[in-house]
Structure 1
Amino acid sequence: MVLLLFFGKSFGFSSNFRVICAACGAGRQVPFFRFNWKAQTWNLLFLVGAVLGGWISEEFLQNGEAVQISQNTIQDLRQLGFAAPQGLQPEELFGAEALGSVPGLLLLLVGGLLIGFGTRYAGGCTSGHAISGLSNLQLPSLIAVIGFFIGGLITTHLVFPLLFS
C-alpha cells in the first residue's frame, strides 16, 4: 500500500472491469471505455496475482478442515437453514446447488446487479475505498465504507431471513 501511495496509484479491483472492457475494444462503442488502459496493466497483474494466490492457497495450503467459526454463527446459520460449513463457506449459499434454487439464483443475480451498480455509483469497490481511500484519509471513502457495512448488516439481518427461512 505504501508503494501504491508513493507512486500515486490507487488500489481496487473494480477498476479492472473497466480496463478489461477497454482492452477488449468496448471503447469503440461506449465513451466510458475510451481511455489509455495500458497505463493500468499493473492493476491487471495484481488481479491475476490475487486469483493465482487464491488458487495456490486452495490447492496447496488448505489442511482439509472446515473454517473455524463461533457457535453463535453456526446457530444463526441453522436458523436460516444452512448447515455449518464443511469447507470455507456454506454450500447451500455458495455451492453449485445454489444456482438451482430460486433464492440462490435470485441472490446471485440481484446481488451481482447491486454490486455492479454500487461500485460504479460509489466510484470504487470495497477494497478500493476501505484500503486505498481510507489510507488517503478521503471522506467519500469513509462514507462509502460505512455504507458497505450498513448494506452488509441489512443483507444479513433482513434479506437473508426473507430469502432463506
Structure 2
Amino acid sequence: MIYQPWPWYVAGPLIAILMAILILMGKKFGMSSNLETFCSIGGAGKFVDYFKMDVKSKRWNLFVVLGSAIGGFIAAHYLTPNQAVDISPKTVESLQELGFESAGTAYLPTELFSMEALSEPKVWIILLAAGFLVGFGTRYASGCTSGHAISGLSNLQKPSLIAVIGFFIGGLVMVHLLYPIIFGS
C-alpha cells in the first residue's frame, strides 16, 4: 500500500482529521505563510512592518515545510523508484508536441528543471516570471492554493472559495491558452 498513491477515501479523511485538529488548536495551514515567517527570520521586519511578527508562534508551521521536503524526497527516491508518472496519454502527447519530451516520465519537466536547461535564457525568463507571478498572486490572494483550498474551505471562508475558483480559472487559461503560446514552436 505504501508504494501506491492512496485513494481519496483514505487521503481525504486524513486531511479532514488534520484540519479538524488544526482548527481546534486555532491554527491555520498554508505554505505561503511560511515564506512570511522565513522573511521575518531573515530580518525583513527591519525594512517592512508587515514582516514584524512573533516568529515563535509560527514555528510549528516551519516543521510542516521541513516534513514536506523530507517526505517528498523519500517518496520520490525510495517509494516510487522508476515509476512512470501516471497521467493521461493524451496529456503526455500534448506536452510532447510542445517540446516536453520528459512528459509521463518525470514529475518535473527536465526541459525546465534541469541543470542543462538553466543554460538557456528563455528558461530563466520563464522561471523568474512564473516565480514573480506566483509570489504576487499569493500575496494578492492572501494565501496559496493549499491554504485556501484546504484550510480556508475547511473554515468555510468565502474569500477562500472565491480564490479557489480563481485558481481553477487561471489554471484552465494557462493550460489551454498560454502554454501553447509560451512553449509552442
Structure 1 and Structure 2 fold alike (TM over 0.5): yes
Q: Does residue 20 of structure 1 match 2:38?
A: yes
Q: Comparing 84-93 with 18-27, which one deviates more in the overlay?
A: 84-93
Q: Does residue 99 of structure 1 match 2:118?
A: yes
Residues 89 and 18 (structure 1 numbering): CA distance in 2 closer, same or farther, change over 3 Å?
closer
The 8 Å contact of residues 4 and 10 in structure 1, kept in 2 or not, is answered as: yes
Residues 152 and 103 (structure 1 numbering): CA distance in 2 closer, same or farther, change over 3 Å?
farther
What displacement does 1:79 show? 2.3
Judging by fraction of residues, say which structure has more helix: 1
One-letter identity of the residue aligned with 1:143 = I
The percent of aligned pairs where both chains have the same amino acid is 52
Match of 1:48 among 38, 61, 66: 66
Q: Comparing 152-161 with 139-148, which one deviates more in the overlay?
A: 152-161
Give CA-to-partner distance per residue, 1:28-69, whole Å, 9 cap, x none: 221111111111000001111111111111222122122122
Structure 2 SS opposite 1:91: coil
Name the TM-score, length of structure 1 as normaliser: 0.93
Match of 1:140 among 159, 164, 170: 159
**Structure 1: segments with no counterpart, 5+ residues:** none
CA RMSD across the alignment: 1.4
> Matches of 1:40 and 1:59 in 2, distance apart?
30
Match of 1:73 among 91, 96, 99: 91
Count matched residues: 165
> Matches of 1:88 and 1:120 in 2, distance apart?
26
**Structure 2: segments with no counterpart, 5+ residues:** 1-18
Aligned position for 1:29 = 47
Name the TM-score, length of structure 2 as normaliser: 0.83
Aligned position for 1:10 = 28
